[in-house]
Amino acid sequence: MVFHEKYMRRCLELAALGIGNVSPNPMVGAVIVHHDIIIGEGFHQKYGAAHAEVNAVNEVIQNYSNYEDILKQATIYVSLEPCAHFGKTPPCADLIIRHQIPNVVIGCRDPFTEVNGKGIDKLKEAGVNIIVGVLENECIYINRRFFTRVLKQRPYVILKWAQTSDGFFAPNIKSQFWITGIEAKKLVHQWRGEEDAVLVGKNTAEIDNPMLNVRYGSGKAPKRVVIDRNLSLSSSLNIFDNSVQTFIFNATKMDVEGKNTFIDLEDFDHYVPEYILYQLYLQDVQSIIIEGGAKTLNSFIASNLWDEARIFTGKVNLKDGIKAPDITGNIASTYKIGNDELLIFENVINSVIYESHKSD
């Protein structure tokens, strides 16, 4: 098994290149090995485009005139179970069988109902030698957004906020107040380009008038989500500029105006985070960053509807103001970002790795 791990690690490196571009599909990497030499690599680059296995096989075909003979003696490593159904592209299991690749090493099973175990079964029925579970937890983790959506019917939730060194979120007065430096801002914009959507509450939209885009980063601009119960926000705010799809959760209106979609939750007194996440799940939103304000963040924490929290602590003190949210979880990592400290927490209770093993 250790022999296979070095190639599976390469699959994971390749899979990570697809972040921000393949949702709601998973990120997948594939490596083809012949006599302990990598002869082809590929990853899923864009939603609706060729899968990792196809790109890896095509690289072999392009580089070797005797590709038919080589593939019949090769092993293909893939971080996620090859699909067995027709979706946007043909089944990858059929591709492997057609080229008579004799050995397939798989990182983890695909939890999606149309695939789960079916790709493995199809390959076994064709006489392919199968190994499953190489770096399994790592392969699940890289696709924690995809697994969360499939297993929990909700997006993967990332909480993000900045707090002062004395534990405050913002001043009591309604005014914009920057806690962190430009390095943190650039990193947040990069994060936005990696996720499907970003959410703010009414007060944050009103006070900060954010664009919620990636102008200091790269990648596509995320969809925007705002909670505005009584639709009291001004239509002139940046969030309503129709530049990207924007969801407005409210208690009075269900309509579509350009790229602004109004969703009436009807009951704004109970289970608001649950209703919002389920509606976003129905819209194929696989991951979301919740950026504030404090009331909004606390509502998701209280409902235990979060998977990851990214918390910046700046050097400034407020001495008084709105307290930063309290959160309990495993500290996964700490970083120095400019003059600020970044702590990343993971919610072990919601661990998709545990959930996926439980469902086996």
In this predicted model, what pLDDT tens digit does every residue of 317-327 receive, in sequence order? Answer: 998 999 999 99
Mean pLDDT of 260-275: 94
Q: Coil, helix or strand for 280? A: helix
Helix spans in the chain (H): 2-16, 52-63, 67-71, 92-98, 118-125, 136-142, 144-152, 182-192, 202-208, 272-282, 294-302, 352-358
pLDDT at 117 exceeding the cut of 90: no
Alpha carbon distances (Å) from 324 to 136, 163, 192, 292: 36, 6, 22, 10
Higher pLDDT: 103 or 351? It is 103
pLDDT of residue 163: 97
Predicted local distance difference test score (pLDDT) of residue 14: 98
Angle formed at CA 52 by CA 47 and CA 56, multiple of 5 degrees: 140
Residue with token string 């390749």: 14
Is 175 a residue whose pLDDT tops 80? no
pLDDT band at 358 (very low <50, low <70, confident <90, very high): low
pLDDT, mean over the chain: 94
More confident residue, 153 or 115: 153
Active-site residue list? 53
AA letter at 120: I
Q: How far apart are CA 54 and CA 249, in angstroms?
A: 40
What mean pLDDT is predicted for residues 289-304?
A: 96
> pTM of the prediction?
0.94
Query: What integer pLDDT is reported at residue 292 of this predicted model?
Result: 87
Joined together, the tokens standing for residue 29 give: 């990497």
**Residue 234, H or E segment:** none
Neighbouring C-beta atoms of residue 271, cutoff 10 Å: 14
Mean pLDDT for the stretch of residues 204-212? 95
